[in-house]
Structure 1
Amino acid sequence: MSCGKPHETDCSEVLDHLYEYLDQEMPEADRKKLAEHFDECSPCLEKYGLEQAVKKLVKRCCGRDEVPTDLRSKVMGRIDLIRSGETRPERAVFDGAPAAQGAQAAAPAPGEDAEPGGPSASARRNAR
């Protein structure tokens, strides 16, 4: 996304670091650069406002839920993989099991639905 105008800080760079800005997880000098960009760039400012509203909504709706202590590191690890261009981790992010490969990835576990909302394997066998 870009407004088409030249900026000291490119729109894509601003949007790549939007959540760091929202969460105040960046050096003050970088925060100032992004704040200046938002002052000049209405599309980025609009995106900032939308993401800020979503963040507040999530906090209001889910703010009381207990979060596993290692969840942040797992989520950040997955974000790093995606940013580096790797679309699939070598192992599952949340359960520590290796990521499924090939045809096994498409096959549901016994008793599970092949598709969300679809009939279970046992229901399909019974229908025959």
Structure 2
Amino acid sequence: MTGQGDGVSDCDRAISQLYAFLDHELKAADADEIREHLAACEPCLDTFDAEQALKELVRRGCSGEVAPEHLRAKIHAVIETSTTVEVRKF
């Protein structure tokens, strides 16, 4: 997950794949790269921990209830277009 000269930092790569990582949707090699980065980068690990806690809170609060598919799609679209994550470098 090195920068590879494309102007995208390791932190940007890790954060952009964070939800796929949390949902176990990455290939094993990609997930391993994220794990390695999180082990070495405290700001990204803090972001991961916060997102994981939020995901767990939502899961506990919504267990047993399933939103209609059209509502799920609408919420997902809003999240994808409006969610930003700030990575602070120390």
Which TM-score applies when normalising by structure 2? Answer: 0.70
What residue number does 2:69 align with? 69
What residue number does 2:52 align with? 52
Is 2:2 the partner of 1:8? Answer: yes
Question: More helix per residue: 1 or 2?
Answer: 2
Matches of 1:26 and 1:71 in 2, distance apart?
A: 25
What residue number does 2:18 align with? 18
- The number of equivalent residue pairs is 76
Residue-by-residue CA offset, 1:8-61 (whole Å, 9 max, x unaligned): 261012111111110112222211111110011111111111111111111111
Matches of 1:73 and 1:42 in 2, distance apart?
A: 33
Could you say what the CA RMSD is over the residues aligned between the two structures, in angstroms?
2.1
Flag the structure with larger Rg.
Answer: 1
Instruction: Flag the structure with more relative contact order, 1 or 2, with Cα contacts below 8 A and sequence separation at least 6.
Output: 2
Matches of 1:62 and 1:35 in 2, distance apart?
A: 28
- The change in CA–CA distance for 1:75 and 1:29 in structure 2 (over 3 A counts) is farther
Matches of 1:54 and 1:8 in 2, distance apart?
A: 28
Displacement over 6 Å in runs of 4+: none
What residue number does 1:113 align with? none
Where does the alignment leave 5 or more consecutive residues of structure 2 unmatched?
Answer: 4-9, 83-90
**Identity percentage of aligned residues:** 37
Residue-by-residue CA offset, 1:77-99 (whole Å, 9 max, x unaligned): 3445x27xxxxxxxxxxxxxxxx
Taking the TM superposition and a 5 Å limit, the aligned residue runs for 1:1-128 are 8=2, 10-80=10-80, 82=81
Matches of 2:47 and 2:19 in 1, distance apart?
A: 11
Instruction: Give the 3-state SS of the residue equivalent to 2:49 in structure 1.
Output: helix
